[in-house]
Amino acid sequence: MRTQRFLAIAAALGLAGVAACSATPAPTQPNATPPVNLSCAWPSSAGVQSHNLLFSDSAAGYWLQPIVATATTTIHVSGRYPDARYFSLNVYTPNGDTVTGNGAGSSLPDYQIAADPGSVNPWQRAGTAGGSYELDLRADASGLPNVLPLPSGTTSAHPGYLLYRVYVPAGGDFSRIPLPSISISNGSTTTRLQPCATHIAPVWAPERSSASAPSAPATPPPPPDAFFTPAYTANGVGLLPNADASYVEAYFTRPAAGDVVVVTAKAPTFAPGEHPSPWPIPAEDMRYWSMCVAVGAAHVPTVINQLPGGKTDYGCRADESTAIGAAGNYTYVIGAESQRAEISAIPGATFLPLQTGSSATIYLLLLRNLLANARFTNSPQTVATTFDPAAASAAMGPYYPKVTTCALAALQKDGAAGCA
């Protein structure tokens, strides 16, 4: 859900193929944008399994609801706690920014959503998924529980957005995630939106004109093989950011035949499993983290390779799919599918794939930290300077990923230390 951010990074890095061709119409092409569907609930969805766009995490699913409202509108959301590790609801302005200034946060993560009487929020105390909750979007939010602010200035041409996020669903099955119902009240009239029969890729409204909006980040691009924090706006447009997530990312050149890319760092502790669990607890640094690799090409797709036997390998490794050594460190080794067996045989290594059959030379890496514990001070959210690897390294300390390229044979012989 970070279209403009990656287009901006692509432009800064000289990835013309990325910057010139977005998976959805760029905001400077309003005539190419289809009308936004306001007639049913959750018309758009995104995720690697359905629409491989914009560097999505393969463990995440997204559903998007456009919003057109006045100051007297109330939007009522009624849902059930999903069987998943994490979910949240976020509200955004027509420009894709989080809503601010009216006394309420624009994000409600799972553990902050109060349950209906007789139900249990399993992120607040031990319990099973399936309990019910209700919340409202309204202009007079004023910090009330289970209330989100309405975005102002919305029209059918420039709607706001409500975004429903889910990470790590039970069994990896997003089709079993219950989507909340939505009712819209204007005065004495209340309309319940029927669920959309199909979910298309996200449709972005055209950007409102802004003559002063920059076309690319003002700072020069960082060097390759170095992680940095991205900017969260580009071209004057917000990016539907997740208030619970922070990121560092890097880009690298596809290694020569026989070589691999190695990424090492200390691993944060995390909430294990694919079911709800109480949050926060002192033993867990964060709810979830992952490392993903994407192709530096149009649509910025996460790597997806079809394997023998009908299996699919997505270019993401979540925390529980990552080998963590006795000292608490991880070692990702990025290589071709033909190198998978050799890499997987290296003690402590976690294989991440390059795209099979792709001629792309530039790849992107993304380390995602989701819902960091307040006591954990080494997440990317503590980095104040964007596009600055030195600032990211200083803030993250041992959790800052280091990138090297070396011969696979050297890695097999001497391990990650030999590569460095």
- Tens digit of each residue's pLDDT (9 = 90 or more) over 372-419: 999 999 999 999 898 999 999 999 999 999 999 999 999 999 888 878
More confident residue, 21 or 230: 230
Give the model's confidence band at 27: pLDDT under 50 very low, under 70 low, under 90 confident, else very high.
very low
Token pair for residue 333?
A: 């080794």
The C-alpha atoms of residue 65 and residue 200 are separated, in whole angstroms, by 12
Q: Is the dihedral of CA 180, 186, 187, 188 positive or negative?
A: negative
Give the model's confidence band at 204: pLDDT under 50 very low, under 70 low, under 90 confident, else very high.
low
Residue 67 buriedness (CB in 10 A; 0-12 / 13-18 / 19+): buried
What is the DSSP-derived secondary structure letter of residue 46?
E
For the segment 279-302, the average pLDDT, to the nearest whole number, is: 91
The C-alpha atoms of residue 302 and residue 3 are separated, in whole angstroms, by 13
Outline where 258-397 has alpha helix (H).
340-344, 389-396
Q: Which helix (H) or strand (E) holds 169?
A: strand 160-169
The C-alpha atoms of residue 401 and residue 332 are separated, in whole angstroms, by 10
Half-sphere exposure of 265 (CA within 13 A, CB side): 24
Give the model's confidence band at 76: pLDDT under 50 very low, under 70 low, under 90 confident, else very high.
very high
For the segment 218-234, the average pLDDT, to the nearest whole number, is: 79
Contact, 41 vs 249, CB < 8 A?
Answer: no
Is the pLDDT confidence value at 239 over 70? no
What is the DSSP-derived secondary structure letter of residue 229?
P
Contact, 127 vs 120, CB < 8 A?
Answer: yes
Is the pLDDT confidence value at 56 over 90? no
pLDDT tens, 318-361? Answer: 999 999 999 999 999 999 999 999 999 999 999 999 999 888 89
Token pair for residue 309?
A: 């036997």
Is the pLDDT confidence value at 37 over 90? no
pLDDT at site 203: 66
Beta bridge partners of 45: 63
Among 62-76, 233-247, 257-271, top mean pLDDT goes to 257-271
E strands present in 72-159: 73-80, 84-92, 107-109, 132-138, 147-149
Amino acid at 393: S
- Minimal CA–CA distance to 211: which of 237, 236, 232, 234? 236
Q: Token match 């889910």: residue?
A: 166
Is the pLDDT confidence value at 75 over 50? yes
For the segment 87-98, the average pLDDT, to the nearest whole number, is: 87
Token pair for residue 93?
A: 């302005």
In angstroms and rounded to an integer, the radius of gyration of the C-alpha atoms of the chain is 21
pLDDT tens, 146-156? Answer: 999 998 889 88
More confident residue, 115 or 7: 115
Half-sphere exposure of 37 (CA within 13 A, CB side): 19
Per the rule left: phi > 0, alpha: psi between -120 and 50, beta: everything else, 302 is beta
Q: What is the pTM of this model?
A: 0.88
Is the pLDDT confidence value at 1 over 80? no
For the segment 192-221, the average pLDDT, to the nearest whole number, is: 69
pLDDT at site 215: 52
What is the DSSP-derived secondary structure letter of residue 187?
T
Amino acid at 217: P
